[in-house]
């Protein structure tokens, strides 16, 4: 691959209260909008958004998101869109994905307004479709990134801290997965796939540096719903740096192991980023990275309360045959795990998961001798 490619949203705006400016940003894209709003925000945010759009002369139709990013839900949105020039998604990842996919079907411009910082989907051109029952179905490439990503940090700081922590777990994988893809010269997610640019790789590195510098201070503030510069920087790392990093450089075993772990029921109650954090520890074991790197990641996860062991993921009693099934699921031909610079088989994946958990458990005991092992 001799061509390198870079992509991202046209604009990213972040700060307390920026939701009040949504009318101005939407009006620069078109005069009619479909607004898909997450159900739990329907009463709280809809009025403010409607007022701003009206003041800017944008005719808006509001649709309460059904809760699942499914084909049925996308069809319902397309039916309601009535040739809207802009689709605005407000809420969590699934509402935003539905808005992005709807916009790509009707050729509309797109604005995402994430209200939690738990994943890096708001900036990307990728949407995920689930069955109406919530089982993963497929990834949709929307063809374009959002025109505007509007991140109201005051809204995000008001949400439970677990969302911000989970977003840090997802962002923790970005640099290490970018490095896997660089080592194997894999294609990124821009268009049909290019080699990453120096810009993409630098962003993935910046994502890691910001997490290590500000992650712990951000958690201390977020626990009390306070908005400090560290929280602002972590919101940006979780949303923009991680989003640009994964899309421009690719994902690998942290996400591959995350996907495979979902074959085990107890993991379903954990957030995406929580499982990806554990997957990142597994990735470092799988790639046999230096001890200091592994300890930096494990210590960060322990300090933030992200899962580092199988027991932390509700899998204290997991059996050998169950872990073999995880290893086999990870080896599916379409899995993203294959971009690691290691010859893989299902036994190796399972062994890396067992070992990652054991190393993290020993590290936890070493740091806190009172912690039971
Ligand atoms: Zn992710």
117 labeled part of a ligand binding site: yes
Work out the mean pLDDT of the chain and round it to a whole number: 95
Condensed to tens digits (0 to 9), the pLDDT of residues 183-211 reads 999 999 999 899 999 999 999 999 999 99
Tokens of 83: 């040739």
241 labeled part of a ligand binding site: no
Is 43 contained in some domain?
Answer: yes
Is 363 contained in some domain?
Answer: yes
Q: Within this chain, do residues 148 and 221 fall inside the same structural domain, yes or no?
A: no
Residues 345-352, mean pLDDT to the nearest whole number: 97
- pLDDT of 121 reads 86
Residues 136-143, mean pLDDT to the nearest whole number: 86
Is 34 contained in some domain?
Answer: yes
Tell the residue number behind the tokens 């045959």, with chain if given: 321
Is 3 contained in some domain?
Answer: no
- Please, which residues bridge with residue 11 across strands? 148
3-state DSSP assignment of residue 89: strand
pLDDT class of 273 with cuts at 50, 70, 90: very high
- pLDDT of 137 reads 81
Catalytic residues: 170, 255, 258, 272
Q: Within this chain, do residues 143 and 175 fall inside the same structural domain, yes or no?
A: no
Residues 112-138, mean pLDDT to the nearest whole number: 88
Q: Within this chain, do residues 173 and 197 fall inside the same structural domain, yes or no?
A: yes
- pLDDT of 373 reads 52
Q: Name the maximum alpha-carbon separation found in the chain.
A: 63
Q: Within this chain, do residues 153 and 166 fall inside the same structural domain, yes or no?
A: no
Q: Is 115 exposed, middle or buried (0-12, 13-18, 19+ CB in 10 A)?
A: buried
**Contact (CB, 8 A) for 273 and 168:** yes
CATH number of the domain that 48 lies in? 3.40.50.1970
Q: Within this chain, do residues 152 and 175 fall inside the same structural domain, yes or no?
A: no
338 labeled part of a ligand binding site: no
Residues 302-310, mean pLDDT to the nearest whole number: 98
Residue 30: pLDDT over 60? yes
- pLDDT of 372 reads 57
pLDDT class of 371 with cuts at 50, 70, 90: low
Tell the residue number behind the tokens 């604009």, with chain if given: 11
Distance 175 CA to ligand 1 centre (A): 12
Contacts of 91 (CB under 8 A, 6+ apart): 36, 37, 38, 40, 41, 65, 113, 114, 115
Which of 102, 129, 157 is the endpoint of a domain? 157
- pLDDT of 1 reads 64
- pLDDT of 134 reads 72
Which of 157, 191, 211 is the endpoint of a domain? 157
Residues 328-333, mean pLDDT to the nearest whole number: 94
Which of 157, 178, 209 is the endpoint of a domain? 157
214 labeled part of a ligand binding site: no
Tokens of 184: 């194997």
Q: Within this chain, do residues 222 and 362 fall inside the same structural domain, yes or no?
A: yes
Ranking 93-97, 307-311, 347-351 by mean pLDDT, the lowest is 93-97
Is 5 contained in some domain?
Answer: no
Question: Cα–Cα distances in Å, from 99 out to 109, 129, 139, 261?
Answer: 10, 12, 14, 28
Condensed to tens digits (0 to 9), the pLDDT of residues 36-83 reads 999 999 999 999 999 999 999 999 999 999 998 999 999 999 999 988
- pLDDT of 83 reads 86
Q: Within this chain, do residues 64 and 170 fall inside the same structural domain, yes or no?
A: no
- pLDDT of 332 reads 93
Condensed to tens digits (0 to 9), the pLDDT of residues 208-237 reads 999 999 999 999 999 999 999 999 999 999
CATH number of the domain that 244 lies in? 1.20.1090.10
Q: Within this chain, do residues 223 and 128 fall inside the same structural domain, yes or no?
A: no
The DSSP letter of residue 37 is E
Is 256 contained in some domain?
Answer: yes
Distance 31 CA to ligand 1 centre (A): 33
Contacts of 266 (CB under 8 A, 6+ apart): 313, 314, 315
- Total domains in the chain come to 2
Is 372 contained in some domain?
Answer: no
Distance 370 CA to ligand 1 centre (A): 33
pLDDT class of 130 with cuts at 50, 70, 90: confident
- Give me the percent of the chain exceeding a pLDDT of 90: 89
pLDDT class of 33 with cuts at 50, 70, 90: very high
- pLDDT of 139 reads 86
Distance 239 CA to ligand 1 centre (A): 11
Q: Within this chain, do residues 174 and 127 fall inside the same structural domain, yes or no?
A: no
Range of the domain at 27: 11-157
Distance 94 CA to ligand 1 centre (A): 13
Tokens of 362: 């020993």
- pLDDT of 337 reads 95
Tell the residue number behind the tokens 């790392």, with chain if given: 237
- pLDDT of 331 reads 96
208 labeled part of a ligand binding site: no
Q: Within this chain, do residues 115 and 68 fall inside the same structural domain, yes or no?
A: yes
Q: Within this chain, do residues 230 and 291 fall inside the same structural domain, yes or no?
A: yes
170 labeled part of a ligand binding site: yes
- pLDDT of 65 reads 96
Condensed to tens digits (0 to 9), the pLDDT of residues 278-291 reads 999 999 999 999 99
Residues 71-98, mean pLDDT to the nearest whole number: 94
Question: Cα–Cα distances in Å, from 340 out to 113, 154, 287?
Answer: 33, 38, 7
Residue 27: pLDDT over 80? yes
Q: Within this chain, do residues 153 and 168 fall inside the same structural domain, yes or no?
A: no
Distance 62 CA to ligand 1 centre (A): 28
Is 319 contained in some domain?
Answer: yes
């Amino acid at each position: 691959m001799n061509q390198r490619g870079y992509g991202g949203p046209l604009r990213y705006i972040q700060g307390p209260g920026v939701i009040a400016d949504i009318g101005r940003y939407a009006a620069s894209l078109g005069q009619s909008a479909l607004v898909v709003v997450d159900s739990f925000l329907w009463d709280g945010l809809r009025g403010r958004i409607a007022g701003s759009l009206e003041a800017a002369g944008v005719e808006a139709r509001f649709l309460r998101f059904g809760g699942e990013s499914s084909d049925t839900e996308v069809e319902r949105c397309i039916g309601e869109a009535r040739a809207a020039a802009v689709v605005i998604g407000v809420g969590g990842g699934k509402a935003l994905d539905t808005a992005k996919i709807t916009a790509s079907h009707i050729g509309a411009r797109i604005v995402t307004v994430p209200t939690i910082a738990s994943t890096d989907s708001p900036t990307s051109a990728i949407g995920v479709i689930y069955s109406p029952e919530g089982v993963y179905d497929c990834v949709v490439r929307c063809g374009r990134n959002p025109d505007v990503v509007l991140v109201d940090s005051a809204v995000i700081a008001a949400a439970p801290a677990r969302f911000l922590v989970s977003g840090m777990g997802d962002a923790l994988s970005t640099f290490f997965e970018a490095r896997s893809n660089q080592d194997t010269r894999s294609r990124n997610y821009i268009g049909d796939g290019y080699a990453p640019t120096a810009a993409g790789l630098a962003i993935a590195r910046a994502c890691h540096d910001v997490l290590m510098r500000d992650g712990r201070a951000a958690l201390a503030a977020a626990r009390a719903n306070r908005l400090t510069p560290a929280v602002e920087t972590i919101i940006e790392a979780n949303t923009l740096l991680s989003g640009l990093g994964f899309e421009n450089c690719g994902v690998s075993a942290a996400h591959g192991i995350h996907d495979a772990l979902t074959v085990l029921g107890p993991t379903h109650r954990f957030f995406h980023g929580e499982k990806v954090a554990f997957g990142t520890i597994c990735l470092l074991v799988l790639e046999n990275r230096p001890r200091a790197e592994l300890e930096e990641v494990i210590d960060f996860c322990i300090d933030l309360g992200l899962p580092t062991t199988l027991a932390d993921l509700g899998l204290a009693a997991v059996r050998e045959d169950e872990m073999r099934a995880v290893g086999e699921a990870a080896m599916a031909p379409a899995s993203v795990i294959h971009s690691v610079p290691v010859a893989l088989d299902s036994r190796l994946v399972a062994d890396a998961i067992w070992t990652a958990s054991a190393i993290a458990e020993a590290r936890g005991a070493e740091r806190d001798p009172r912690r039971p092992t």
